[in-house]
Amino acid sequence: MKKNIETSVVIPAFNEANSLVELLDRCARTMNKRFKNNFEILIVDDGSTDETQLILSRLVKKYSFLNGIILRTNFGKSIALMSGFSRAKGKFIVTLDADLQDRPEEIPMLISKLKKDYDLVNGWRFKRKDSWFRKLGSHFFNFVVRRYTGLSLRDENCGFKAYRRQVVENLFVYGQFHRLIPLQIYLRGFKICEIKIKNDARKHGVSKYKAFRYQGAFDLLSLLFTIKHSFTPLHFFGPVSLLFFIPGLLVFSYLVLSHIFALGFQDYDILVSRPLLDMSLTTMLAGLIILMTGFVCDFILYHHLRFNSRMITENTVVEIIGSKRKK
């Protein structure tokens, strides 16, 4: 009889060969003690160029609960997470980074909190062991999210999280949107809480995933638009288009009416030769283009990616090791 998996642990890894052995040893001791044999661990190798894949191949032979997912190239953390989510079988799903800064020993704490009627438990690295530059960028980003969205989290971008399966099945991230997973879940009406976790200094190498940069502001705006206006795009593009169309229409109307009152219905070559008339028509056209092009591009792109998320993650995986399941 096939056993149901209660907890899946998804760990994206990029060039983390030096961390994997210790990470899996600590995960194994923690999970076996708390969850017995009712769990699985999935490590997603995000196109590593060091010996991550080789070490992972050895570890899947040692641990029966471990599956390795090998991506074709370095697609980034969002696709790595989605590849793990699409293959996770657990009722509860935990994510953490492979750099040993998150403590696997705290997984049971996140699961216990999740069972208290929450959909997502987000870790808060209240004593974060990172450079001041990374911490400053993170504090600013979290302040902006709290100020403009109403989601009161202190560490939005923390990779140590616990999800209910229903949340993961309604989640799709790409590009750098893994940084905004809690916000996406919050905007979809799920219940979120935050819990203090310990954060250790990196033991090996440097961070492989880039720190938050100014592009994060555009990701935030894009997510807010996509979630809020994916089914009502005209609520956004309509007002923006009017900002262009109405001034252009007013100027155009003024020029035409003033010409009629001054010269009557004649000498239209004088009216047509005025540069301001061209500008007004161009502005009106720009409003129409914003209305049509913006609506079509954003609406089709979002829904194409969302409804084809399974196909996208399947196409990025070149091999699955330590599992009997086929691609």
Quick: pLDDT tens for 219-242. Answer: 777 777 776 666 566 667 778 899
Q: Confirm whether 155 is domain-assigned.
A: yes
Residues 216 and 115 in one domain: yes
Q: Which three-class secondary structure state does DSSP give residue 43?
A: strand
Q: In whole angstroms, what is the distance from residue 114 CA to residue 116 CA?
A: 5
pTM score? 0.71
Tally of structural domains, the chain: 2
Residues 224 and 248 in one domain: no
If we measure between CA atoms, which residue out of 95, 116, 115, 117 comes closest to residue 106?
95
Q: Confirm whether 322 is domain-assigned.
A: no
Residues 224 and 292 in one domain: no
Residues 253 and 225 in one domain: no
Residues 167 and 57 in one domain: yes
Domain span at residue 250 reads 234-307
Which residues are CB-neighbours of 299 under 8 A, at least 6 positions away? Answer: 230, 233
Q: Confirm whether 321 is domain-assigned.
A: no
Residues 208 and 286 in one domain: no
Residues 180 and 242 in one domain: no
- Single out the residue in 203, 229, 255 at which a domain terminates: 229
Q: Confirm whether 25 is domain-assigned.
A: yes
How much is the pLDDT for 242? 92
Q: Confirm whether 327 is domain-assigned.
A: no
Contact 41, 65 (CB under 8 A): yes
pLDDT per 10-residue tile (average), the chain, 327 residues: 81 94 95 90 95 95 95 93 95 95 95 94 83 68 76 86 93 84 88 92 64 61 68 73 93 88 76 85 92 75 69 65 57
How much is the pLDDT for 326? 46
Q: In whole angstroms, what is the distance from residue 136 CA to residue 230 CA?
A: 32
- List % helix, strand, coil for the chain (3-state, nearest 5): 55, 15, 30
Residues 99 and 170 in one domain: yes
